[in-house]
Amino acid sequence: MDYHLKTPVPEDEIRKLKMGDLVYITGTVITARDEAHLKALELHEKGEKTPVDFKGVGVFHCGPIMKKVDGEWTVIAAGPTTSARMEIFQDNFIETFHPAIIIGKGGMGDRTSKACQEYGCVYGAFTGGAALLAARGIKKVREVHWLEELGMPECLWVYDVEDFGPMIVTIDTHGNNMTQDVKELVTARMEKIMAEMEG
């Protein structure tokens, strides 16, 4: 099934999605990688507010190439980065900030999958390297935060997006995880190949 969602996405709409569905989103997508996740969680722990509200929006594992043209930030290329690096704090992030969809590539693990189930979030896999397809769906750069401190790839870019996608749902709220399923198959095949290998 194809879904065209608008942010903020209500939790019941997120819970309708199933592994393998294609999703496009219109509204707000915010980039956040390793450093931005850490900083947002640190601020929350100190009882301080983050400069943006992640509730119901798309959190995009992406360090884009941006350029200032006539004083305005524009997107040059903005594809997904490897999400597995965020596995160590993504569950905490989902529990704390309640985003609707985590966008990235390469999939995520059990901790994230559990948090998605519990708090109503999905993981949308965007084709890795397809930075210009992604940029096409970004209509406006609304805000940027932490640019000076974290630099272009790591800071928070807040985008207005229109039919941003397609993302394939690989982690849904029903406990499914496509990347994990493939990984188990690959490991089994590896063991067989290793056992049969000749010198």
Note the residues at the interface with another protein (CB under 8 A).
20, 22, 62-65, 67, 76-79, 81-82, 84, 105-107, 125, 127-133, 136, 149-154, 166, 168, 170, 178-179, 181-183, 185-187, 189-190, 193-194, 197-199
Q: From the CA atom positions of the chain, what is the Rg in Å?
A: 17
Catalytic residue flag (residue 37): yes
Catalytic residue among 4, 37, 44, 145: 37
Q: Which are the contacts of 67, defined by CB distance < 8 A and separation ≥ 6?
A: 73, 74, 76
Residue 20 or 175: the one with the smaller Cβ distance to another protein is: 20
Residue 11 or 144: the one with the smaller Cβ distance to another protein is: 144
CB of 65 to another protein, least distance (A): 5
Q: How far apart are CA 91 and CA 3, in angstroms?
A: 24
CB of 120 to another protein, least distance (A): 24
Closest CA to 99 of 58, 62, 61, 145: 58
Per this entry, what is the length of the chain?
199
Q: How far apart are CA 121 and CA 112, in angstroms?
A: 9
CB of 163 to another protein, least distance (A): 14
Residue 23 or 120: the one with the smaller Cβ distance to another protein is: 23
CB under 8 Å, gap of 24 or more: what pairs does 72-75 form?
72/141, 73/141, 73/144, 73/157, 74/141, 75/135, 75/138, 75/141, 75/159
CB of 106 to another protein, least distance (A): 5
Q: How far apart are CA 155 and CA 34, in angstroms?
A: 10
Residue 43 or 76: the one with the smaller Cβ distance to another protein is: 76
Catalytic residue numbers read 37
